[in-house]
Amino acid sequence: MRENGWESLLDDVSSFCDVHDILIPKLDESYFPGKSKRKSSGVSYEHHLCVEVFFVVIDVQLQELNDLFDVVSSDLLLGMGSLNPDNSFSNFDKGKIMILAKCYPSEFDDGKIRDLSYQLDTFIIHMRSGNPKFSNLQGTRDLAKALLTLILPVATATVERAFSSMKHIKNEVRNNIGNHYLNDCLVCYIEHDVFINVSNDVIIDRFQNMKTRRGQF
């Protein structure tokens, strides 16, 4: 059915060209500019149409796009395009994603940028490993939904854990505790498995070495 459709289309084009006296060139024949048949350009019709017409038009369109978007906007678009999951993340480009991350210095300091470099290597390995959760994604929108579905239960549990801990920290005795001090207490309470390995002597030495320990306390 498809071949018959193409044949019908070609027949229509040929009929149109015949009616309007339009030459249908053969791509491997020499190209003659204008209506002259005496002076050949030295190139084939295929070269003329591909290089001198098609590529020139593409270059003009690219130049127009470059004039519309500055460097930062281009980096954003290229970075987002590199996360496109189509064709098993065929557009994945770690370098472009790193440039995208550097557009957000408040979110990615030097340490996080270094961590991101290793995380992206792990990310693309898992994405291309045939995991059914990521095998049929179409576009970055689907990727964002899939990642959100994975992290939402963890984020929800973390928030619930924080609120539960707050009931123990901010009780009736310490009802007027400030936000900064409350955050510090919550970190120590929630991450008690980490802080239990810190001895009291280390804490005392740290506090005594503070020049402004009154303010810190």
Collapsing DSSP to helix, strand or coil, 44 comes out as strand
Query: Tokens 């990615």 appear where?
Result: 108
What residues make up the domain containing 64?
2-68
Give the pair of three-digit tokens for residue 191.
Answer: 């991450």
Amino acid letter at 50? C
Q: Decide if 186 is inside a domain.
A: no
Q: Among the ranges 5-14, 90-99, 182-191, 207-216, which has the highest mean pLDDT value? A: 90-99
Task: State the pLDDT confidence band at 214, using cuts at 50, 70 and 90.
Answer: low
Give the pair of three-digit tokens for residue 26.
Answer: 């053969």
User: Of how many residues is the chain composed?
Assistant: 217
Domains identified in the chain, total number: 1
Q: Which residues fall within 8 angstroms of residue 212, CB to CB, at 6 or more apart?
A: none
Does the pLDDT of residue 213 top 70, yes or no? no
Q: Decide if 39 is inside a domain.
A: yes
Q: Decide if 145 is inside a domain.
A: no
192 φ/ψ angles, rounded to the nearest 5 degrees: -65, -25
Q: Decide if 26 is inside a domain.
A: yes
Measured N-to-C along each axis, helices 110-127 and 94-102 cross at an angle, to the nearest 10 degrees, of 140
* Residues of the chain above pLDDT 70, percent: 76
Q: Decide if 79 is inside a domain.
A: no
Mean pLDDT of 38-54: 74
Does the pLDDT of residue 2 top 80, yes or no? no
Task: State the pLDDT confidence band at 3, using cuts at 50, 70 and 90.
Answer: low
Computed from CA positions of residues 83, 88, 93, 94, in that sequence, does the dihedral angle turn out positive or negative? positive
Measured N-to-C along each axis, helices 139-169 and 179-190 cross at an angle, to the nearest 10 degrees, of 100
**Higher per-residue confidence, 174 vs 61:** 61
Q: Which residues fall within 8 angstroms of residue 146, CB to CB, at 6 or more apart?
A: 133, 134, 137
Q: Decide if 99 is inside a domain.
A: no
The pLDDT score that the predictor gives to residue 217 is 46
**Mind giving me the DSSP string for 67-134?**
HHS-HHHHHHHHHHHTT--HHHHTT--HHHHHHHHHT-TTT--HHHHHHHHHHHHHHHHHHTTT-HHH
Q: Decide if 207 is inside a domain.
A: no
Give the pair of three-digit tokens for residue 96.
Answer: 């472009």
Mean pLDDT of 31-60: 74
Check if the beta carbon of residue 37 is closer than 8 Å to that of residue 23: no
Q: Decide if 22 is inside a domain.
A: yes
Give the pair of three-digit tokens for residue 52.
Answer: 């001198």
Q: Among the ranges 5-14, 81-90, 139-148, which has the highest mean pLDDT value? A: 81-90
Alpha-carbon distance values, 95 to 119, 135, 148, 166, 189 (Å): 13, 23, 24, 42, 39
